[in-house]
Amino acid sequence: MSILDKINQLKKERNAVILAHYYVRDEVQEIADYVGDSFYLSKIATQIQAETIVFCGVSFMGESAKILNPEKTVIMPDMEADCPMAHMADIDKINAAREKYEDLAVVCYINSTALLKTYSDVCVTSSNALKIVKALPNQHIYFIPDENLGRYVASKVPDKHFIFNDGYCHVHKSITAKNIQIVKDIHPKAEILVHPECTMDVIAMADYVGSTSGIIHYVTESRAKEFIVCTEMGVRYELQLKKPKKLFLDAGQCYCSGMKLVTLEKVAEALEQMKNVVELEEEVRIQARKPLKRMLELG
């Protein structure tokens, strides 16, 4: 039996659906029932009827699915698949900021651990961060954990005061303005598409700044034929599917090793053995659910 047949059979036996982020391997995206960015997947996770969710992504995504679906079994193909940035915020600093500013909203990028979410007022994704921060009544915003996304949002909401955290995504940070310029010099008509986890000098070069879904949507609407895609390379799979005649260029090796740990073999093994089940302490789950639910309401 092929690995694909095996996964399909196990899905039926376990009453399971497979969710995959755009950054996982092409073949994993291919077998998934739903593929998307963090915002789409967190919304879908609240609507799923199946008993089991296989989350092909990194650990904070599985945690978010479990937080929103406590009655379901959420399994991860590889428990080692993690996002370093998800851990990059200091609880003592959050508490200190809360003491300093009475009117403080702790805005937490969804790329964060469940524990960090428990210290937050609202979660955001790169798709909805701008909309949600604008909608908040608070004047003081402590944006965790990603400094780059925080600075991008702050640049669009000048009437609010932001406190930045020093977290970052090493994958997006590796994209440099210099490398983009090298590609642009060779392909002067190429449009530059940038994820807001990139640094501000890279964002300043962009024809379009947005989430992974936003970038995909932009490409489908744009009349341009060439694009320099400044985000994780996995998005190429969906871009090529949607626009096979367009040319997608890199400005470096933008590769998330955590996402790439997920393989078809691991999906099959996790489903077969029902292993790598996401477990959260009930107190953490309840507290972390509040900012996620608020995001879904505001976003």
- Binding residues for ligand SF4 (CB under 6 A): 23, 58, 83-85, 111, 169, 171-172, 197, 232, 256, 258-259
Contact 165, 145 (CB under 8 A): yes
Closest listed residue to residue 288, CA positions, set 122, 52, 145: 122
Task: Tell me which DSSP letter residue 195 carries.
Answer: -
Could you tell me the smallest distance in angstroms from the CB atom of residue 254 to ligand SF4? 8
Could you tell me the smallest distance in angstroms from the CB atom of residue 147 to ligand SF4? 12
Could you tell me the smallest distance in angstroms from the CB atom of residue 33 to ligand SF4? 21
Contact 105, 136 (CB under 8 A): yes
- E-assigned strands of the chain? 16-21, 34-36, 52-56, 73-75, 104-109, 122-124, 140-144, 161-164, 191-194, 208-209, 226-230, 247-249
What sign results for the dihedral spanned by CA atoms 291, 292, 298, 299? positive
Could you tell me the smallest distance in angstroms from the CB atom of residue 169 to ligand SF4? 3
Choose between 175 and 206: whose C-beta lies nearer to ligand SF4. 175
Choose between 109 and 119: whose C-beta lies nearer to ligand SF4. 109
Choose between 21 and 66: whose C-beta lies nearer to ligand SF4. 21
Could you tell me the smallest distance in angstroms from the CB atom of residue 255 to ligand SF4? 9
Choose between 65 and 256: whose C-beta lies nearer to ligand SF4. 256
Choose between 111 and 276: whose C-beta lies nearer to ligand SF4. 111
Could you tell me the smallest distance in angstroms from the CB atom of residue 109 to ligand SF4? 9
Contact 74, 53 (CB under 8 A): yes
Choose between 44 and 110: whose C-beta lies nearer to ligand SF4. 110
Could you tell me the smallest distance in angstroms from the CB atom of residue 172 to ligand SF4? 6
Residue 57's Cα: distance from chain center in Å?
A: 9
Could you tell me the smallest distance in angstroms from the CB atom of residue 46 to ligand SF4? 21
Choose between 111 and 125: whose C-beta lies nearer to ligand SF4. 111
Contacts of 193 (CB under 8 A, 6+ apart): 206, 207, 208, 210, 215, 218, 219, 227, 228, 229, 230, 231
Choose between 10 and 169: whose C-beta lies nearer to ligand SF4. 169
Category of 252 on φ-ψ map: left (φ > 0), alpha (ψ -120 to 50) or beta? left
Q: Is the peptide bond before 145 cis (omega within 30 degrees of 0)?
A: yes
Whole-number Å distance between alpha carbons of 51 and 81: 23
Task: Tell me which DSSP letter residue 85 carries.
Answer: G
Category of 132 on φ-ψ map: left (φ > 0), alpha (ψ -120 to 50) or beta? alpha
